[in-house]
Structure 1
Amino acid sequence: MIVRLLALLFCLYFSAPVLLANATSTGNELFRLGFSTSLFTDVDENDAKAAMKVWGQVVGKARNIPIDADASIYHSADDVLAALQSRQIDAVGITTVEYFQIYKKTELARFFVTRNSGSLTEKFILLAHRDGAVKSLADLNGRNLHVYENARTSLATVWLNNTLYQKGQGRLEKLAGSLQKHKKLANTVLPVFFRQVDACLVTRSGFDVMTELNPQLGQALMVVAESEDVVPAIFVFRKDYQPTFLEELVAGLNELDQSSAGQQILNLFNSDGIEERPREELDLALDMLEKHENLPL
């Protein structure tokens, strides 16, 4: 992976000056993008910066768009909001949770969603061993739970807390005997399979891949609860960002998966495509977050 990344950086290094020179000669403002660290839970920040640099240059080269080669990385929703409001960045990649934290404070537009295994959304499932003690949500009290932590599970505990409240249970943090987060899916699921942990919270798509590789997992583990489909993360523009090349930029994003270089960049983001979608497709996730915000502590 790193070898491919370095090779792409080497090739694109020579095209970057052309893009920057074009921006200077035409007077166009450079397109500046940023990303939240929440999107890179299992990637070193320096590697993430390098990957984002390549990602921006691939789009820029394909459409002859002037792009700032150095993307910014932010560590909180407040930092993202400040950067958008001060126009330090023109677009940003964030989780849906972070979007919920800022969308009422700044105007955003042109929503893009990445695909994972062909799907723009994620479902979350609570798994337990068929021969274990957890058969329903009511059985979680005092039990040990593992949670899969990455960008596509940003809404997982939000959904589970809401569901527990609807069933008359307390918040997961107070209900569970212990709660551990893992950045590797196997480290989240396998302890439940070996009955070292009572239950785990993961993505349906991730578990489906694991059961394809190891059917025994599907035979031994059962789904205790499952969420609806929700959008876990987005890439979005400032509403007032209207350069002359905006439509070219949007087209380049939509077609990123149509080139081998673009596909390699998407792989770094654990995605197989990105496409523009209506803002309304976030409504279910936003409603989920609104309910969660109003839950009693």
Structure 2
Amino acid sequence: MLGLRSENLISPKPDLSIVCIASKNGMISLSLKAAIFWFSILVFCILPYSHATDKIVPLPVFHAGFYINAFSDIAIEDIEVALRFWTEKLADQANYPSDTTVYESLDKMRTDFYQGKINFIVAPPLVFVNEFDLTQLTDGYKSLMHGTAFDTLIAVTHNQSGIQDFSDVKNKQLLMLEHDELMHMYLDVLTLEHFGKQSKQVFAKIRRSAKSSKMIYKLFFKKTDVILVYLQDYRLATELNPQIKHQTHIIAELASIPRGLAFFHIRTDSQLRQDAIEEAEKLHTYPKGQQLLNLFQADRMIRSSLSDLDTTRQLKQRYQQLLKQYSLP
């Protein structure tokens, strides 16, 4: 486990430590910007608690954690520089000592969560469903982008591929995001439903890419037959280049997928949870908060709940049913 630490001697404050974990082991392809975004949200949410107190208590430390596989396309040196910048910014503006941990292991992240070393996590939905006891989670918050907190996972092909619907994909080439296991699970569900086989037995080749934009343009230039991508990314690409929309078409989709969620540990102080969520929901009402939201193309922050994981849980249940139906491990 890699770690960065920045601590300053300051006046005592209530013990309100929060930890942020950004993970891309599941569906979501979080970039370094996205991780910094979530870390910044916490900085803004903690600011209201930086007042002095008459009671002498141990100095709280702001702990920030990130999952290393979320940044597979970025050098660790660049990650360290970015994380150090934000911890120093927190120490300067919120007057808190702080440290940052980069996790190499989901097991370690989960253990720290259960042991109380962290009490707030940001992760893709499949990571929550696969790696955490959901009874230990409670409301946090999520970003609202383009008027919605959810996205749609789509399979797209180019018009010259000879593919009219998903039943035509056998022996074709497919491109999908790295480290997006929800995307891979959805692909297996589609191939099991149409062919009774897992995706690796259906497609001639399955490759991974770090960037949605690169996948979309490879499809546009016919370097692959099919891609799995998120609808928001596809729409952005078609706005920048309308020809993409004219020369491609969608052959399958899965709606109501949150791109990133944040939950508190259920043992976290209830007043702290409520105050932090309320402050997150106010970000769009003042200039610095709006500037941060605009930078990451988010409209505002809203409360998350465990029901946001419903589509992911249903997908996993369907996947397990199909594996059992076809006697697959």
* TM category, shorter: 0.7 to 0.9
Aligned to 1:115: 144
Range 92-101 or range 29-38, more displaced: 29-38
| Counterpart contact for 1:53–1:70, Cα < 8 Å | no
Aligned to 1:3: none
If the length of structure 2 is used for normalisation, what is the TM-score? 0.72
Aligned to 1:228: 255
Q: Distance in 1 between matches of 2:250 and 2:29?
A: 27
Pairwise CA RMSD of aligned residues? 3.0
1:193 aligns with 2:259: no
Equivalences, count: 273
Alignment counterpart, residue 253 of structure 1, candidates 274, 277, 280: 280
Alignment counterpart, residue 125 of structure 2, candidates 85, 96, 121: 96
Aligned to 1:124: 153
Cα pair distance change 1:293/1:258, threshold 3 Å:
farther
Q: Distance in 1 between matches of 2:243 and 2:133?
A: 46
Aligned to 1:33: 19
One-letter amino acid matched to 1:221 = T
| Counterpart contact for 1:108–1:237, Cα < 8 Å | yes
Q: 1:169-220 deviations in whole A, cap 9, x for unaligned? A: 4222332211122222221011211112111111111111111221111110
Aligned to 1:43: 32
Q: Distance in 2 between matches of 1:293 and 1:265?
A: 40
How far 1:55 sits from its partner (Å)?
Answer: 3.7
Aligned to 1:87: 116
Secondary structure of the structure 2 residue equivalent to 1:29? coil
Cα pair distance change 1:111/1:163, threshold 3 Å:
farther
Q: Distance in 2 between matches of 1:54 and 1:122?
A: 22
Cα pair distance change 1:106/1:85, threshold 3 Å:
farther
| Counterpart contact for 2:150–2:256, Cα < 8 Å | yes
Cα pair distance change 1:128/1:246, threshold 3 Å:
closer
How far 1:269 sits from its partner (Å)?
Answer: 5.7
| Counterpart contact for 2:219–2:225, Cα < 8 Å | yes
If the length of structure 1 is used for normalisation, what is the TM-score? 0.79
1:57 aligns with 2:86: no
One-letter amino acid matched to 2:166 = L
Q: Distance in 1 between matches of 2:61 and 2:46?
A: 6
Alignment counterpart, residue 11 of structure 2, candidates 21, 28, 38: 21
How far 1:238 sits from its partner (Å)?
Answer: 0.6
Secondary structure of the structure 1 residue equivalent to 2:235? helix
| Counterpart contact for 2:156–2:228, Cα < 8 Å | yes
Cα pair distance change 1:178/1:114, threshold 3 Å:
same
Aligned to 1:158: 185
| Identity level (%) | 16
How far 1:236 sits from its partner (Å)?
Answer: 0.4
Secondary structure of the structure 2 residue equivalent to 1:250? helix
Secondary structure of the structure 2 residue equivalent to 1:170? coil
| Counterpart contact for 1:154–1:232, Cα < 8 Å | no
Q: Distance in 2 between matches of 1:237 and 1:113?
A: 12
Matches for 1:66-85 after TM superposition, within 5 Å: 68=62, 69-85=98-114
Q: Distance in 1 between matches of 2:117 and 2:99?
A: 12
Q: Distance in 1 between matches of 2:246 and 2:206?
A: 25
| Counterpart contact for 2:23–2:124, Cα < 8 Å | no
How far 1:293 sits from its partner (Å)?
Answer: 4.3
Cα pair distance change 1:269/1:22, threshold 3 Å:
farther
Q: Distance in 1 between matches of 2:259 and 2:201?
A: 25
Range 263-272 or range 273-282, more displaced: 263-272
Secondary structure of the structure 2 residue equivalent to 1:227? strand
